Structure 1
Amino acid sequence: MVKDENVKIDMVGKNIELTAAIKQYIEEKIGRVYRYFDPILGVKVVVEKERQAREPVFDVEVTLDANGRLIRAEVEDPDLYAAIDKAADKLESNIKRFKEKLFDSRQGGKVEKTTTLNVGSLLGEEKVEEPLIERRKRFVVLPMSEEEAVLQMESLGHTFFVFMDPDTGNPKIVYKRKKRGYGVIEVLTE
């Protein structure tokens, strides 16, 4: 598939200047994902050079928006170009895994569902000091099945995912349980 000229790869450098050569390398490596989805609404690449490390360490994070389905890969490496290569490979692997699971679920395959919630483990017994919020994100909550939400969560590498129940219109949260399986929290509105 040929890259859609309307879609660009947004690149952000943190503690590093992204030179023309680095940008071109990112476009070559990350641009391979265009053959997997149509349409791709956007690709964002964040390259960060860790400041605290004795040796330079580069963190490369790639987020792909494939028509509202987000797929993410993040890797660290002391070599910038190796980090970009690994991120591209990991993103392709995540895309393939996502598409296989999506295909399996549409063909009648099962994704394990867990609908119980252990509230005691979420609340805990310890007193916690005021949390420090380091990052805020905004995103559109899409209607999807619980199985699709699990696939989205796994493809992003997160431990939870917020989505909209297509039948009730209520927000739900799917999360990865500590021991195994998944849980679902349904938010009820009055």
Structure 2
Amino acid sequence: ISMAWAGSLASIRLVIQGKHLELTEALKAYVEDKVGKAVHNHAYLVMEVDVRLSVRGGESGRGQKLQKCEVVTMFTKKHGVVRAEEATDSMYSAIDRVSDVVARKLRKIKEKDGHGRRLPSHVGEILSRESSTAPPTPAVEEPDFPDEIVRTKIFDMPPLKINDAMDHMANIGHDFYAFRNAESGEVNILYKRKEGGYGIIIPRE
């Protein structure tokens, strides 16, 4: 369901999706209110907000019945994407929690916006130490996954500095992030190391 906010949020597209549950008017109004308050102070940056509500487990499935809310906030190319996800036994509680997480992440972006962050020294050390090697692969038993491509994602990849790529990776909550290095023009992979700090994979010339 595609909706539109009023007032200062009128320029932002709101998309609400439901899986294994009925999107009632009360639920849609609650999402519009709570998530709207979370992004209100950052309307000048946000292009789209995608809210995905789902139910899993319980009588028709395995384990505890959980109500999950996931919010993906699409920003300008400079600021990337913010993602938050929460699952509880109440959908309204999940919406409350995920809205709080989104609001905190947006505040951090606002604080950093316009204030350049120095590249941590350990990233520079990793760049020189691991320039010719791949990240260590732990010896673990491989799960039985299908040996075929089951999903394809297409997205813009504007040039980024390494410290900006680190911010983007933190915003989406992933352990790795592919980006185009603004200095070299090449696609690099930034990742979190189990030993602490970050690593980066750079293609050999």
Q: Does 1:27 align with 2:32?
A: yes
Corresponding residue number in structure 2 for 1:151: 167
From 74, 85, 91, give the equivalent of 1:65.
74
Q: Displacement, 1:168?
A: 2.2
Q: TM-score, normalised by structure 2?
A: 0.79
Q: Structure 1 residues 39 and 100, CA, compared in 2 at 3 Å: closer, same or farther?
A: closer
How big is each residue's C-alpha offset from its partner over 1:117-168, in whole Å with a ceiling of 9 and x where there is no partner? Answer: 363623x445746633665433211211000000110111110111111122
What is the letter of the counterpart of residue 194 of structure 2? K
Q: Does 1:166 align with 2:166?
A: no
Q: Which runs of 5+ in 1 are unaligned?
A: none
CA contact (8 A) 1:43 1:64 kept: yes
What is the letter of the counterpart of residue 34 of structure 2? K
Q: What percent identity do the matched residue pairs reach?
A: 26
Q: Structure 1 residues 11 and 126, CA, compared in 2 at 3 Å: closer, same or farther?
A: same
**Distance in 1 between residues matched to 2:109 and 2:174, nearest whole Å:** 14
From 145, 150, 153, give the equivalent of 1:131.
145
**Distance in 2 between residues matched to 1:58 and 1:86, nearest whole Å:** 12
From 95, 114, 117, give the equivalent of 1:84.
95
Q: Structure 1 residues 62 and 28, CA, compared in 2 at 3 Å: closer, same or farther?
A: same
**Distance in 1 between residues matched to 2:62 and 2:140, nearest whole Å:** 32
Q: Which runs of 5+ in 2 are unaligned?
A: 1-6
Q: Displacement, 1:56?
A: 2.4
**Distance in 2 between residues matched to 1:37 and 1:84, nearest whole Å:** 19
Aligned pairs, how many? 186
Q: Does 1:47 align with 2:58?
A: no
3-state secondary structure, aligned to 2:44: coil
